């Protein structure tokens, strides 16, 4: 091979290494965290896996189904649309950030050590809900009225190692935002609970369009078991349902064309710079409490070992002897003798 070909191959090889190293942090960001008892770990905003779930119970060509993650922002946009013939729409979409972690066991601790944990995530959200249903939700028959629901959760679940997309068993959950629009007289916000420093603003324009904006630091506490994999999930969940999406050309009036848009602002006059969606606004903190159970077990093991060492020293002291010379070590004085064990005088 010529020098020219060798140089070309070397350049290509080095370039491949540089590209691989450039991609490495993105892959590492999705790796499972190893936490230690008695510490606080910060996770950069958006440093998690984005998981999307979509359930289509009934659909038409007019519906909008859009969801995903962009950096540290999760979005969902569901629109029942308008069809020429009466058709039902039943959609549920979820976009969630998932961060996996486990707490390392303390050396010498039992395998089933349990520790307290506190998770704090600063968030913002903006979005709009539209529903032109003319019938109030409380007075309508089940299944007769269309609605649009938006819920946001911070939850902790038992996870599957290496598979953040798998739904796990719930451990703890906080719903920090809930909004439901059931129509012209059904514009309703469900008050946020268990949220510190959170602000929710909901307005209904002519009882058809509802705007939801809020922010706050969301807290979640739980007890976890060392060695197990857990998922921290920050989720935006949207439901849209309408029994009839046809226009009122003839027969009964249209029932609903619900639309939940937490993806992009369609108002050109909106001066708010914050984008639509659920935004992971700053670093997440994960504080793991002291592993008292492991500490107690480690101390008990240390005490047991100290007692065993002390008993060994006592036995060695009781039977201790040493060899000595009876003279100067010359001639007949070069006699070796052994002392008796220690004598205890009361």
Q: Is the pLDDT of residue 14 over 50?
A: no
Residue 171 CA neighbour count, 13 Å, CB half: 23
pLDDT at 268: 63
pLDDT confidence of residue 112: 72
Secondary structure (3-state) at 155:
strand
pLDDT per residue as tens digits for the range 310-339: 888 878 777 777 777 776 666 666 677 777
Give the pLDDT band (50/70/90) at residue 195.
very low
Is residue 238 pLDDT above 80, yes or no? yes
State the DSSP H helix or E strand holding residue 126, giving kind and residue range, or none if neither: strand 114-130
| Cβ contacts of 279 within 8 Å, gap of 6 or more | 72, 73, 74, 123, 124, 125
Say whether pLDDT at 91 is over 90. yes
CA distance 71 to 229: 24
- Can you name the residues that pair with 196 across neighbouring β-strands? 217
What whole-number percentage of the chain has pLDDT above 70?
Answer: 70
Which of 274-278, 294-298, 311-315 is predicted least confidently?
294-298
Structure-token pair, residue 197:
């420093």
pLDDT-derived band at 52 (thresholds 50, 70, 90) equals very high
> Shortest CA distance to 41 belongs to which of 108, 121, 105?
121
Answer yes or no: pTM beyond 0.75.
no
- Confirm if 75 and 263 have CB atoms less than 8 A apart: yes
Give me Rg for the CA atoms of the chain: 34
| Residue 152: count of CB within 10 angstroms of its CB | 26
Task: Give me the mean pLDDT over the 127-143 stretch.
Answer: 66
């Amino acid at each position: 091979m010529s020098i020219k070909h060798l140089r070309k191959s070397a350049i290509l090889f080095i370039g491949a290494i540089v590209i691989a190293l450039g991609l490495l942090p993105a892959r590492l960001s999705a790796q499972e965290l190893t936490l230690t008892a008695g510490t606080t770990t910060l996770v950069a905003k958006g440093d998690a896996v984005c998981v999307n779930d979509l359930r289509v119970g009934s659909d038409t060509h007019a519906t909008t189904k859009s969801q995903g993650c962009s950096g540290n922002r999760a979005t969902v946009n569901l629109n029942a649309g308008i069809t020429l013939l009466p058709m039902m729409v039943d959609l549920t979409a979820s976009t969630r950030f998932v961060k996996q972690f486990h707490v390392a066991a303390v050396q010498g601790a039992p395998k089933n050590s349990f520790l307290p944990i506190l998770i704090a995530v600063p968030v913002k959200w903006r979005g709009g809900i539209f529903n032109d249903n003319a019938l109030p939700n409380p007075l309508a028959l089940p299944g007769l009225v269309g609605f649009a629901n938006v819920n946001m959760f911070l939850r902790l679940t038992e996870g599957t190692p290496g598979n953040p997309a798998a739904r796990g068993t719930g451990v703890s959950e906080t719903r920090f935002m809930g909004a439901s629009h059931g129509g012209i007289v059904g514009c309703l916000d469900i008050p946020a609970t268990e949220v510190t420093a959170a602000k929710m603003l909901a307005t209904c324009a002519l009882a058809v369009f509802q705007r939801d904006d809020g922010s706050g630091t969301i807290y979640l506490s739980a007890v976890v078991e060392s060695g197990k994999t857990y998922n921290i999930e920050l989720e935006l969940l949207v439901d849209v349902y309408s029994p009839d999406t046809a226009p009122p050309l003839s027969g009964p009036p249209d029932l609903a064309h619900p639309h939940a848009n937490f993806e992009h602002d369609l108002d050109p006059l909106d001066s708010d710079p914050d984008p639509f969606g659920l935004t992971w606004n700053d670093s997440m903190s994960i504080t793991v409490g002291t592993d008292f159970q492991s500490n107690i077990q480690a101390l008990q093991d240390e005490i047991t070992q100290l007692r065993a060492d002390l008993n060994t020293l006592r036995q060695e002291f009781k039977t201790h002897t040493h060899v000595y010379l009876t003279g100067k070590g010359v001639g007949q004085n070069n006699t070796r003798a052994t002392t008796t064990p220690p004598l205890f005088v009361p």
